[in-house]
Amino acid sequence: MNNDITIIIPLHTLEGDNGEFLKKAIESVRESQKYYNDGKLIVTVVAPFEGSTNANLVDKWILNDSGDTTYCGQVNYAVQHIDTKYFSILEYDDTYTEKWFKFFKDYMFGNEDVSVFLPLSIVTDAGGEHWQYGNEAALAEFFSSELGFLDFDCLQDWSAFALMGAVINREDFVSVGMYKPSIKLAFDYELLLRMTNKKLRVMVVPKEGYKHIVGRENSMMDIYRKEMEGTDVVQKWFELAKREYQYAEDRKKSISKKQKVEEVK
């Protein structure tokens, strides 16, 4: 069976070192292709500006003219313009490990009903001096009802899971309503709550599959975090996610008191 996977790279600018980071990210996909023989890894950049479609670098460039250039908006737009069964999100300053998609193929056998295959992520700071694992909690005994899987109950107590690098069933992603761009920082968590509440299966593959950099100046996540005003604001977004998961549509709710007053009126 052919299991092509679209690699979606959301890009907000090519200024500064972003072009070099993008090149390195794409090179990691090319290295991964050497070990993945179940289909093609299709490098797809989605951006609010025109770009090169050089076959040696990018397989497909999607011009996002929707007006929504948030991370979630970029991904949603790209998902609606691809036709592969699976897709994966690669941040332009991150990389895959060379055998991640081979590991996905190995663990998909017997788990064809799984909607999301999460990698064990290696999370580092911008200088590469400190690192830790991401998504590893699901591999602990008694964390959830089934070892290695996320369920709705375990997500009530632990929100630190990220979808970067995951291999996601496109049809299932669309069926639950895709990302909600209005939810800041907690959008992965809210989506996972929505999916597990619908009894869709989410698995953490016990293999290193993705290298994620945090805290890099002017990265998309850095820009989002600078908009937050302290840990209490971050906490409120996660609390909002716990309320909004039950709705498929993005109701564009905010944590601001101003909106709440307007809603009462």
The mean pLDDT of the chain is 90
Residue 64 amino acid letter:
N
pTM (two decimals): 0.92
Crossing angle between the packed helical segments 18-33 and 100-108, to the nearest 10 degrees: 50
pLDDT tens, position by position, 232-261: 888 899 999 999 999 999 999 988 754 443
pLDDT tens, position by position, 206-232: 999 999 988 666 666 666 666 665 668
Bridge partners of 43?
7
Phi and psi at 133, nearest 5°, equal -85, 150
* Range 47-65 average pLDDT: 86
CA distance 131 to 92: 19
pLDDT at 165: 98
pLDDT at 131: 86
- β-pairing, 149-150 vs 86-89, is unpaired
CA distances from 117 to 155, 176, 192, 196, 227 (A): 16, 17, 12, 13, 30
pLDDT tens, position by position, 106-157: 999 999 999 999 999 999 987 766 789 999 999 999 999 999 999 999 999 9
